[in-house]
Structure 1
Amino acid sequence: MLMIYEMTIQVRVPNMREGQNWYEKLLNRGPDFVPHEGFAEWELIPGCWLQVAEGEPSLKSGPLRLGVADIETEKARLIHLLNVEDFIIHSRKEVPVKWATFEDPWGNGIGLFQYHDQQEIQKRIIPILGRHIQ
């Protein structure tokens, strides 16, 4: 029986200093682990790691979608802080989230999503953080 207890996803950037700086701004913090030059990792939630590695980006990879509490606020922050090209937030009646996709400067696909129901957001956050968020 397969037992998955952690996961990682890796994106590649041609210049590590620029790439790490961009992802630090995206994630609002520095990496949790830098084992060697050309590689940095962030633990996004317990057991879920984003690796940024120096190398040739895989065109049209992803998207890596990040759940956020307020997708509109994050969109505005990313456009302002990282000069991300304006992107559309999608929503469908039968889908419990609204979502959006954009790219980092190297073509790696990234996305955001937000549950429509605030109680659903809290239900998912409490096991991770051990508390509600405002």
Structure 2
Amino acid sequence: MFFEMTIQVRVLDIKQGQAWYECLLNRKPDFIPHDGFAEWEVIPGCWLQVAEGTPSMGSGPLRLATTDIVATRDRLIRDLKIESFDIYSRDEVPVKWGTFEDPWGNRLGFFEYADKNEEKERIETILLKTR
């Protein structure tokens, strides 16, 4: 049985990396167990770890769901100076998505459900499972 998940990205400087991810996620880390490491529980049971070290180029992307990908993209372009964040869609795919890189080459992104009823159902399902 699986019940939680972590994913780790590495940054060359933890202070710069933590500040960048605080802006990305709009909040301070949930847990800093030791120097060179910070963690955010993005949704219940799913943790993003930022660790000081050599980034793994070309891995990912880690994509997070958002209810408004355009507003999210615009905020990141403004606040984090993201230069390349195009939004894509295809008729046969139920989401719009976009991918970009952090300053260390980690590939990240967001997606938004095209069908807002499906989005609402997913949110409710996740919230029910975490209570």
- TM bin, normalised by shorter chain, reads over 0.9
Aligned to 1:107: 105
Q: TM-score, normalised by structure 1?
A: 0.92
Q: Give the counterpart letter for 1:46 in structure 2.
A: P
AA aligned to 1:95 is V
Aligned residue pair count: 128
User: Which residue in the other structure is 1:16 paired with?
Assistant: 14
Residue 57 of structure 2 corresponds to which residue in structure 1? Answer: 59
The amino acid of 1:80's aligned partner reads R
- The answer for the alignment partner of 2:77 in structure 1 is 79
Distance in structure 2 (CA, Å) of the matches to 1:30 and 1:128: 23
Q: Please provide the CA RMSD for this pair.
A: 1.0
Instruction: Give 1:129 shift.
Output: 4.1
Calculate the TM-score normalised by the size of structure 2: 0.95
Partner of 2:48 in structure 1?
50
> Matched residues, percent identical?
64
Partners of 1:129 and 1:21 lie apart in 2 by 28
Separation (CA, whole Å) in 2 of partners of 1:124 and 1:17: 35
How many Å separate the matches in 2 of 1:11 and 1:87?
Answer: 19
Shift >4 Å, 4+ stretches: none
Gap runs ≥5 in structure 2:
none
Q: Distance in 2 between matches of 1:128 and 1:31?
A: 22
